[in-house]
Amino acid sequence: MSLKRIAVLISGSGSNLQAIMDAIDSGRINGQIVQVISNKACAYGLERATKAGIPTTHIDHKAFASREMFDDEVRQCIDAHQADLVILAGFMRILSPAFVQHFSGRMLNIHPSLLPKYKGLHTHKRALAAGDKEHGCTVHFVTEELDGGPLLVQAVVPIVTEDNEESLQNRVHKREHVAYPLAVEWICANRVHFSENGIHLDDELLDNSGFRLGYEA
Ligand code: GRF
In short, whether 18's Cβ falls inside 6 Å of ligand 1 is no
- Cα 203 to ligand 1 centre (Å): 31
Instruction: State the distance from the centre of ligand 1 to the C-alpha of 168, rounded, in angstroms.
Output: 14
Whole-number pLDDT of residue 216: 65
Q: Ligand 1: which atom is nearest the Cα of residue 45?
A: 12
Q: Is 147 in the pocket of ligand 1 (CB under 6 A)?
A: no
Give the CA diameter of the chain. 49
Whether the Cβ atoms of residue 98 and residue 68 lie closer than 8 Å to each other: yes
SS3 state of residue 141: strand
Task: Say how many Å lie between the CA of residue 89 and the centre of ligand 1.
Answer: 6
Q: What is the pTM of this model?
A: 0.97
User: Tell me: the pLDDT tens digits for 58-73?
Assistant: 999 999 999 999 999 9
Give CA 43 to chain center in angstroms: 16
- 200 noted as active-site residue: no
24 exposed, middle or buried (CB, 10 Å; 0-12, 13-18, 19+)?
buried
Provide the CATH number for the domain formed by 1-103 in this structure.
Answer: 3.40.50.170
Among the options 58, 81, 111, 140, which is catalytic?
111
Check pLDDT > 70 for residue 217. no
What pLDDT, on a 0 to 100 scale, did the predictor assign at position 215? Answer: 82
Q: How far is the CA of 47 from the centre of ligand 1 (A)?
A: 16
Percent share of the chain, pLDDT over 70: 99
Asked if the 113-136+151-217 domain carries CATH number 3.40.50.170, the reply is yes
pLDDT digits over 134-183, tens only?
Answer: 999 999 999 999 999 999 999 999 999 999 999 999 999 999 999 999 99
Nearest CA to ligand 1 atom 1: 90
Q: What's the distance, Cα to Cα, between the start and end of the chain in Å? A: 28
Counting atoms of ligand 1 from 1, which one is nearest the CA of 16? 13
Pairing status of strand 204-205 against strand 198-201:
antiparallel
Instruction: Check if 176 has its Cβ closer than 6 Å to any atom of ligand 1.
Output: yes
Structure confidence by residue, pLDDT tens digits, 181-190: 999 999 999 9
List the beta bridge partners of residue 211: 153
> What pLDDT does 1 receive?
82
pLDDT digits (tens, 9 = 90+) for 194-211: 999 999 999 999 999 999
List, by residue range, all CATH 3.40.50.170 domains of the chain. 1-103, 113-136+151-217
